[in-house]
Structure 1
Amino acid sequence: MNSLTTSQIIRRSKVAIVLMVGILGILIVFSNATDYNSNYIYISHILSMDTTNSHLTYRSINSEMMHHRIYWMIMTLETIFTSSCLMGAYQLAKNINASEEQFHEAKKFAVLGFLVALFVYYLCLQVIGNEWFDMDRSKDWNAMKWAQSIVDFLVPALIFLVMKVDS
């Protein structure tokens, strides 16, 4: 451990964090691919607002075709964030001993992956799912805590990733 400098440990920790998010993505994509129906039902209940007891149900989407399309859009975005994070981890690892500027430039796939993940779990689930479709009012079909836990990890991880403290 004494042979590694603080900067080298910081660089390795950035690789590890990006890889962890990539692994999260692999598990999510695998779950969506192997258990399509369970996850589809979740999205369907959120979009149809059938368990919210809300007076805002005029906002609901009740088209099964739209439920599938929105779910496929979410799965596509999850695949993009996963592949971007995995590519980002690879690029960072490949440039682990490069100059400060090269290492910083190697972060672009990871940053893109984190932003796509934030789009899905913050904007799509927490903002739109919660504020438009009243997801938080459903006792059974509420992904708020799960999405929040991902966002709570991603935001500080993204800040740490983009900081130039790894020279």
Structure 2
Amino acid sequence: MNTLTTDKLIRYSKVILMAYISFFGLLVMIHNFTDYESNYTYVAHILSMDTTNASENIMYRAIDSPMIHHRIYWFIITMEVTYTVLCLIGTYQLYRYIDASPAVFHEAKKFSIMGILVAIFIYYVCLQTVGVEWFDMDTSQSWNAKDWARHIVDFIFPVMIYITLKVER
């Protein structure tokens, strides 16, 4: 009879946490493809800086071109698809090697780590850094995703640390 050991539970918890991140990515992708216009509108307002309290000194940063808005939005969508696919593959790889040796299981983490890094790029670098610091998104009353993005990073970054830890025996 197989018993659930702490070591086995740690491995399963890593698979489950990656499944959570993958599920979130799938929902984001579905939303972007089924309601393109609402998220495009968000991106356009942030890039245009038309709802911020930005001073005239930084309004030169605003991007008013709808063509560039669409291209940046498609870049974001591409990155979201990329992180979701990498996380799905990573989840599968972790599950596939759940009973493997510690070294093999540790090597199976590669796709999970890559997926989480892409997600951190989107939600930390693109939204929290560029959106807030360059486009002054945090001063917008209606198009501000700073806190939403922070909550995502607050979840996925510790998961990445946990996934990468080599505690399995």
Match of 2:65 in 1: 63
Match of 1:17 in 2: 17
- Of 73-82 and 52-61, more deviation after overlay is shown by 52-61
Letter matched to residue 137 of structure 1: T
Match of 1:51 in 2: 51
1:13-53 deviations in Å (ceiling 9; x for gaps): 00000110000000000000000000000000000000002
- Distance in 1 separating the partners of 2:77 and 2:168: 33
Letter matched to residue 35 of structure 1: D
RMSD over aligned CA atoms reads 0.8
Match of 2:156 in 1: 154
- Distance in 2 separating the partners of 1:79 and 1:43: 17
- Distance in 2 separating the partners of 1:36 and 1:162: 34
Out of 139, 155, 159, the position equivalent to 2:141 is: 139
Give me the TM-score of the superposition, normalised by structure 1. 0.98
1:70-114 deviations in Å (ceiling 9; x for gaps): 000000000000000000000000000000010000000000000
Q: Deviation above 2 Å: which 4+ runs of structure 1?
A: none
1:94-136 deviations in Å (ceiling 9; x for gaps): 0000000100000000000000000000000000000000000
Letter matched to residue 28 of structure 1: V
Q: Which runs of 5+ in 1 are unaligned?
A: none
- Distance in 2 separating the partners of 1:147 and 1:53: 20
- Distance in 1 separating the partners of 2:90 and 2:104: 13
1:5 and 2:5 equivalent? yes
Match of 1:38 in 2: 38
Give me the TM-score of the superposition, normalised by structure 2. 0.97
- Distance in 2 separating the partners of 1:166 and 1:39: 41
Q: Which runs of 5+ in 2 are unaligned?
A: none
Out of 79, 87, 97, the position equivalent to 1:77 is: 79
- Distance in 2 separating the partners of 1:91 and 1:58: 46
Instruction: Tell me by how many angstroms 1:8 deviates.
Output: 0.3
